[in-house]
A = this chain, B = another copy of it.
Amino acid sequence: MREEQMVPMIPRQTVNMTDVAQRCGVSIASVSRALRGEPGVSPATRDRIMSAARELAYVVSPEASRLSGGSTGRVGVVVPRIDAWFYATVLAGVAGEFDAVGVDLVLCTLPDSSARHRFFEALPLRRKVDAVIIVSVPLSARERTRLDQLGVPTVQVGGHHPTGGRPWVGIDDELAASQAVGHLLRIGHRDIAMIQAVDQEGTAWAADEARIRGFHDQMTAAGVAEPTVVRVPWGIDGGAHGMETLLSRSRLPSAVFCHSDEIALGALRTLRKAGVAVPQQISVIGVDDHPSAELSELTTVAQPVREQGRLAAVSVLGALQDDGGAMPARTTLPTRLVIRNSTAPPH
């Protein structure tokens, strides 16, 4: 992945190719060719250059190598944010694979639509990385084109299925929602509400839309045409608000499907404060299997998160080795119903 470094103990690069060229009385181009083992330098000159380089403790750097078309030894990873369990866990999966082979991880966060806009217009990773892993970020047609213009392999984790053969690793979010709602239907619930998490800027996130679709499809199939829906911002507080809204209505549904475990954890907090017994008075189910789900005895649909990051890293590293030849198109990882104590048949 990276050129050998010749001298291990220089605190910082102070010597450059110009110094080596001056010492030998040759051109910088000759130094460059000699250090990279390219033709066009006589053996005698090459020897002189190599010994001058050693003498001056010149360190062949990844950057120098890269200017001549080599690799940077770096891969960019783009996430909406870091301080959320899902993204941090995907990142940990990526980092584990990169560490094993000595690839550097350049981290980009795109917390809002203006950051995303800046990122895709300026392409700050251009010419700095050998490949890019992009996690969950919603992509417009123009943004996909801009990603392609990076000219390096890119792999998507979650979000929209890519067009044009970009590799993708994720789960089937519609299926995950169906698994959750199917569980509630099977144990006898019909009056099922959904607390939907929506982007406050109005951006359509593929995973959100797929989970909403999965909910409505299941409810329609069960003969419930217009189930109750509450829309809230992402996160625990959003879930808490969503449940407050449901509690403020004349009649409580018998079960609530929450967009994610964080929404469900907030909903449980509101129910506990309001003295509503779970699952006796209301069943609550989420999606994710967040570490706090077990603590709160939350029934959920588990997705393998670290594994998504790991497989994306494996895919990218494979593409770099094979020069882009052999990335699998789509890897859909399985999700799994985990039944705990927050769901029970309606009384």
By a beta-carbon cutoff of 8 Å, the part of chain A in contact with chain B is 5, 8-9, 11-14, 16-18, 27-29, 59, 61-64, 66-69, 72, 74, 81-85, 87-89, 91-92, 95-96, 99, 102, 104-109, 111, 115, 122-124, 126-128, 148-152, 236, 265, 268-269, 291-292, 294-296, 306
Contacts and interface: CB of A to CB of B under 8 A. Distances in A.
A233 B127 CA distance: 43
B106 A106 contact: yes
A109 B128 contact: no
A67 B12 CA distance: 12
Given A18-B29, A29-B28, A150-B12, A67 B61 contact: yes
Contacts of A84: 88
Contacts of A27: 27-28
20 contacts: A8-B122, A8-B123, A12-B126, A13-B127, A16-B68, A27-B28, A63-B127, A67-B67, A82-B82, A82-B92, A83-B88, A88-B88, A92-B109, A99-B108, A104-B108, A104-B128, A105-B107, A106-B106, A265-B295, A268-B295
Contacts of A83: 85, 88-89, 91-92, 306
A83 to B, nearest CB: 4
A115 B98 CA distance: 13
A63 B67 contact: yes
A12 B107 contact: no
B82 A291 contact: no
Nearest to A65: B63
Contacts of A236: 291, 295
A11 B67 contact: no
Contact of A81 (B18, B92, B150): B92
A69 B236 CA distance: 48
Contacts of A124: 102, 104
B69 A66 contact: no
B151 A12 contact: yes
A64 B67 contact: yes
A127 B92 CA distance: 24
A82 B74 contact: no
A236 B8 CA distance: 40
A179 to B, nearest CB: 24
